[in-house]
Amino acid sequence: MSVPLFATAPALRPLLDEVAERQAAVLRSGQYILGPEVEAFEAELAAFLGVRHCVGVANGTDALTIALRALGVGEGDEVVVPALTFFATAEAVVNCGAIPVFCDVDPATLVMTGASAEPCLGPRTRALIPVHLYGNPAPMDELRALASAHGLALLEDAAQAAGARYGDKMAGALGDAATFSFFPSKNLGGFGDGGAIATDDDEVAKLARRLRFHGSDDRQTHVDIGYNSRLDDLQAAGLRVLLPHLADWTAARRGAAAAYEATGLGDQLTLPVETPRGKCCYHLYVVRTPARDDLAAHLAAADVGARAYYSTPLHQQPALRRFAPAGPLPGVEAAAAESLALPMGPALGEAEVARVAEAVRAADVEPAPQSHAQGEAVASGG
């Protein structure tokens, strides 16, 4: 009777035999690291995204660190990062020796915009990292214009956005480079840790390949201090089985989002708002209400999975407080206080959506204020 927060297992179950067969073939081959499965997966992911290069690495956090360095970010550079995201987005900046400058997010779409990033620019700014939060693409047109005007690198953190679209492109094909995570709960989730860097830039791809292998192009001469950060062939073999299903899974997630909206949940809660030109892939379905903690308690009692993400935003995290801006970040702070993720996944059916909606209605939380103006109403699914 319970509805889990992540309904991913039912979508994976029919594919597990094929995953096991392909992984068994890898075991027999003896090629476990940077072998043919990794190379094939990199090519297939690049084709799916519509970019020239994908570089597989050990996880999405390393993907960010390596991409930043490949884009030329280093000691003392400033990098603008939204304060509403997973810790890793800023952690990677600090691990490059650079300084994260936290910007606000749009109060409706919860992503970095040109207007929210611009006040953070200064003479030492080197890059912007828009995060496609919960699968909702940041407005890349205006961020591209801002980056070009100021000579900044534009790195998409697309860890939550595999399968999302913006205009006629995939999320991950919009910046100078993009990073993905294959952590099991992500929309393209593997069977352990994994990550990738996507780029159209030959030089960035070459540097990323070098940095993932101890700063070496030929595995003998080390021309840079890099990392040991590689995607395993066992992971790549599994991900190659899943990738062809990602488009269908994304459509199913969008269908579930439309089904939530059709229940009338929006009378009680603020529902997710897509970026203009964006097609969200609903990594999470995050609603907002001032009575968030009440609602969470009611849903827990009703056996409905729900969780508050990023309720302590990055500029208030102990490890990052030294980078906090002088003033408040009102969009981030309101979202951190009011957000709650409801169940979402490629196998979330109408019956489960109805059960969640019923549990929300029974919780009887106060209606949301109608003040979130900027984005467009969420599109219907499909």
Ligand X SMILES: *Cc1c(COP(=O)(O)O)cnc(C)c1O
Residues that bind ligand X (CB under 6 A): 59-61, 85-86, 88-89, 131, 157, 159-160, 181, 183, 193, 195
Q: How far is CA 257 from CA 245, 295, 331, 349, 381, in A?
A: 19, 19, 23, 10, 7
- For ligand X, which is the closer residue by CB, 53 or 186? 186
Q: Centre a 10 Å sphere on the Cβ of residue 141 and count the other Cβ atoms it contains.
A: 15
Question: CB nearest ligand X: which residue?
Answer: 60
Residue closer to ligand X, measured from CB, 125 or 229: 229
CB of 133 to ligand X, least distance (A): 7
**Residue with Cβ nearer ligand X (85 or 289):** 85
**From the CB of 131, what's the least distance to ligand X, in Å?**
5
Judged by beta carbon, residue 181 or residue 235, the one nearer ligand X is 181
Separation in Å, CA 239 to CA 12, 15, 146, 233, 242: 11, 11, 35, 10, 5
Q: Where are the beta strands (DSSP E) in the chain?
A: 53-57, 78-82, 99-103, 125-128, 153-157, 165-166, 169-170, 177-181, 195-199, 278-279, 285-288, 339-342
For the CA atoms of 214, 217, 221, 222, the dihedral, rounded to the nearest 10 degrees, stands at: -30
Cβ atoms of residues 180 and 290 within 8 Å: no
Min. distance of Cβ 354 from ligand X in angstroms? 29
Q: Which is nearer to ligand X, 64 or 252 (CB)?
A: 64
Q: Could you tell me the smallest distance in angstroms from the CB atom of residue 91 to ligand X?
A: 9
Quick one: which of 179, 186, 122, 180 has its CA closest to 154?
Answer: 179
Q: To the nearest whole angstrom, how small is the minimum distance from the Cβ of residue 319 to ligand X?
A: 15
CB of 28 to ligand X, least distance (A): 28
**Which residue lies nearer to ligand X by CB, 60 or 137?**
60
